[in-house]
Structure 1
Amino acid sequence: MERADKDLAFLLRYENVAWYENGKVRILDRRIYPRKIEFVECETHEEVAKAIADMVTQSGGPYVAAGMGMALAAYEVRNKNEKDILEYLERAAYTLSHARPTTSENMLNVTNSALSIAKDSLSEGKRVDEAIFNSVIEVSNNKYSKISKVANYLVNNFPNKGTVMTQCFAETIVGFMVLESRKQNKDIKYICPETRPYLQGARLTASVIQDMGGDVTVITDNMPGYTIGKKKVDVFTSAADVITMDGHVVNKVGTFQIALAAHYWGIPYFVTGAPNPKHPGVESVNIEERDSELVLYHLDTKATMDGVKGYYPAFDITPPQLCSGVVTDKGIFSPFDLNSYFTSDRDCEDKSSILI
């Protein structure tokens, strides 16, 4: 199998996202990357779930980690009978998929797939942990190949010598966005808001772009509105944790305010990802609120007086009116017509460029 992570940055290589081997799952600690390159080693699937909940890995990383966690769970009960193995894996699937509430519906796709593979492997007399691991790699490969198509549609909307603002860390699309820009001979400058309190934009997005030879500038989270006008930003883009069927974009908190600024300045906002039929409307989404103490710190340094309170919603909601298009592997769709994504069986070439 030719690996689709070829030519991508260190952070996006399969082994550096999450990896199962020798009865352990190794996860790159994105909370401290790139200043330190350290891996968290998990010896149980509960430790993998805790690593996901503790933000050791973020963006698309938890989905890979959950799959590897299921392989580890299978290893934990490798000497049990079939009934006990399946019961244990069902409990592990719930633990891993519910490590973070906002993405639990999407995570269930990963864990349920692993359960199905486990049942097939047991009936065929194969090692369950190896079968799940191999499936995770195959799924990652297919996902990367699909995201390269998404990048093509997205970059079609970048002008040559343009400036693009991102938000948080959009995982694989960031790397393929840089590769596709190079392929299309477009000289693009990138601006990344830092994304407090974990600074994913500064540490992860900017690192991937820099690692791949791109031109990238980091700004603080209170600068996008001014910067879009001052630096003549052409496009704002982000990924999404959930895109509801009624066109709402649930993504890292701060996305909404940048979309508002983009609308004011008259530039398009393109979100990458697929609509989720399990979320017909935004009321079905549970917005995770994390430890409020985290916003009182900048990395490890406390910035406030004792007694000051914090508030930390991990995500916000951008309404469809502020989104110019949902960029998918099938083309770009209006946020007001996302059912078409599921009824379309073509690459939607005629939808590859949408103006605001």
Structure 2
Amino acid sequence: MSEETKKSIMDYDTVALDEENNALVIIDQTQLPYHTEILSLTKQKDIWNAIYLLQVRGAPAIGVAAAIGIYLAAREIQADGFDEFYTKFQKAKDYLDSARPTAVNLSWALKRMEQVVLKNKDKTVSEIVELLHKEAIEIREEDIWVCRMIGEYGLSLVKPGDGLLTHCNAGQLATVKYGTATAPMYLGHEKGYGFRIFSDETRPLLQGARLTSFELKESGLDVTVICDNMSATVMRNGWVDAVFVGCDRVAANGDTANKIGTSMVALAAKRYGVPMYICAPTSTIDMSTPTGKEIHIEERPAEEVVEMWYKKRMAPEGVKVFNPAFDVTDNDLIAGIVTEYGIAKAPYTESLKEIFRKKEEALKAKEM
């Protein structure tokens, strides 16, 4: 279904499950901001492509899409018993997991869905499928709460009238609602904080220019687009009081992998005394990855750099192109990691463990 943007982009669900048609419903973000195209996906190949081609993007949104996607795959499995079902489930899980290697939420959501299967070996296949359905819905609802809490904690770090800078899109279009890095901005806007926001364009896919500025403008926030190489200038001018960015993976030592260019923002922020905060759901924190050196960085096609936004190719034929999708920001450049269970600060090897301790206590209390 395709329709022009007659209503605000914020009126659409970024990721949802169409119960009636058993479909994953997403906004095709490759078409924004020119028009809003809603995709209804039922085939696993189409869901894989949507994740790989960035039609659905942003670590939390990818996780929700994966949970719904593997549930839809499970619905299609024909099996006589648990062993056959689980073998086919694993194959579908591994297939979806191969779409994006850096965003840990993809594997996190799929592993969480797999645990539902493994904990219910004694149940029938149809009962397991229904439990997967419930888990997928719960993952989606949790994302809304998580982003809201990140917004509350993030808002405590700034004051009315501040200038804020963000890179890439860690907004509502990257989650179910609120976003991660934009959550403090949205909550502050509700309270009349009057933030002045600078959005890096974010080469080569321009998520900041196409998506972040689009959704912030649609929501009535004061947003200014700048080229990636202008961030140091606006900081030097004293126009930026804090930087908020999302991330796709946090290592146990606090190193973070986010959209390419984030580390340059962090270096400039450090030079000009601007605190840089990483907004990260605990699902994005990978305590099994010791440092940023162990994070696998996805490399994408050269065409994204030299052809995608141009009528004619803008670099000579045959020239080599290096196109990593992410870079790693060292933990000493980060002022804090904002999660749904509080703000972690250096030393991150200890504070991140404390965040997970709080999470475990909260989950135990919820079960009582």
Alignment TM-score > 0.5, same fold = yes
Are the counterparts in 2 of residues 237 and 270 from structure 1 also a CA contact under 8 Å? yes
Q: 2 CA distance for matches of 1:80 and 1:42? A: 27
1:16 aligns with 14
2:283 pairs with 1:276: no
2:338 pairs with 1:330: no
| Aligned-residue CA RMSD (Å) | 2.5
Q: How does 1:201-216 map to 2 (within 5 A)?
A: 201-216=208-223
1:251 aligns with 258
- Range that drifts further, 180-189 or 50-59: 180-189
Q: 2 CA distance for matches of 1:129 and 1:215? A: 45
Distance 1:300 1:132, change over 3 A: farther
2:53 pairs with 1:25: no
Q: CA offsets per residue over residues 192-212 of structure 1, 9 Å max, x none?
A: 011122211112222221222
What letter is aligned with 1:204?
Answer: L
2:3 aligns with none
2:274 pairs with 1:267: yes
Q: 2 CA distance for matches of 1:39 and 1:93? A: 24
Are the counterparts in 1 of residues 63 and 108 from structure 2 also a CA contact under 8 Å? no
Which SS does the other structure have where 1:233 is aligned? coil
1:66 aligns with 66
Distance 1:335 1:168, change over 3 A: farther
2:303 pairs with 1:293: yes
Are the counterparts in 2 of residues 122 and 128 from structure 1 also a CA contact under 8 Å? no
Q: 1 CA distance for matches of 2:44 and 2:33? A: 26
Q: CA offsets per residue over residues 192-244 of structure 1, 9 Å max, x none?
A: 01112221111222222122221111112221111222361111110111111
Which SS does the other structure have where 1:102 is aligned? coil
Which SS does the other structure have where 2:271 is aligned? helix
Are the counterparts in 1 of residues 14 and 61 from structure 2 also a CA contact under 8 Å? no
1:61 offset after TM fit, Å? 2.1
Number of residue equivalences: 337
Q: 2 CA distance for matches of 1:57 and 1:24? A: 14
1:44 offset after TM fit, Å? 2.2
Are the counterparts in 1 of residues 162 and 195 from structure 2 also a CA contact under 8 Å? yes
1:12 offset after TM fit, Å? 8.3
Q: 1 CA distance for matches of 2:181 and 2:277? A: 13
Q: How does 1:30-179 map to 2 (within 5 A)?
A: 30-59=29-58, 60-78=60-78, 81-103=81-103, 105-118=104-117, 120=120, 123=123, 126=126, 128-170=128-170, 171=174, 172-179=179-186
1:199 aligns with 206
What letter is aligned with 2:327?
Answer: D
Q: CA offsets per residue over residues 278-299 of structure 1, 9 Å max, x none?
A: 2112222111111122100243
1:126 offset after TM fit, Å? 4.1
Which SS does the other structure have where 2:33 is aligned? coil
Q: 1 CA distance for matches of 2:64 and 2:289? A: 22
Q: 2 CA distance for matches of 1:75 and 1:253? A: 37
2:317 pairs with 1:306: yes
The TM-score normalised by the length of structure 2 is: 0.83
Q: 1 CA distance for matches of 2:84 and 2:46? A: 21
Distance 1:239 1:16, change over 3 A: closer
Distance 1:81 1:343, change over 3 A: same
1:173 offset after TM fit, Å? 1.9
Are the counterparts in 2 of residues 20 and 68 from structure 1 also a CA contact under 8 Å? no
Give every structure 1 segment of 4 or more consecutive aligned residues whose post-TM-superposition deviation is greater than 6 Å.
none
Are the counterparts in 2 of residues 293 and 309 from structure 1 also a CA contact under 8 Å? no
Q: 1 CA distance for matches of 2:190 and 2:151? A: 11
Q: 2 CA distance for matches of 1:157 and 1:39? A: 36
Q: 2 CA distance for matches of 1:74 and 1:11? A: 31
Distance 1:12 1:90, change over 3 A: farther
2:245 pairs with 1:238: yes
1:122 offset after TM fit, Å? 7.6
Q: Structure 1, unaligned stretches of length 5 or more?
A: 1-8, 348-356
Q: CA offsets per residue over residues 308-356 of structure 1, 9 Å max, x none?
A: 3321010111111211111122222224234333335559xxxxxxxxx
Q: 2 CA distance for matches of 1:213 and 1:204? A: 14
Q: 2 CA distance for matches of 1:34 and 1:130? A: 37
Q: 2 CA distance for matches of 1:124 and 1:10? A: 41
Are the counterparts in 2 of residues 150 and 328 from structure 1 also a CA contact under 8 Å? yes
Which SS does the other structure have where 1:218 is aligned? strand
- Range that drifts further, 169-178 or 63-72: 169-178
What letter is aligned with 1:264?
Answer: R
- Range that drifts further, 24-33 or 337-346: 337-346
Q: 1 CA distance for matches of 2:87 and 2:108? A: 18
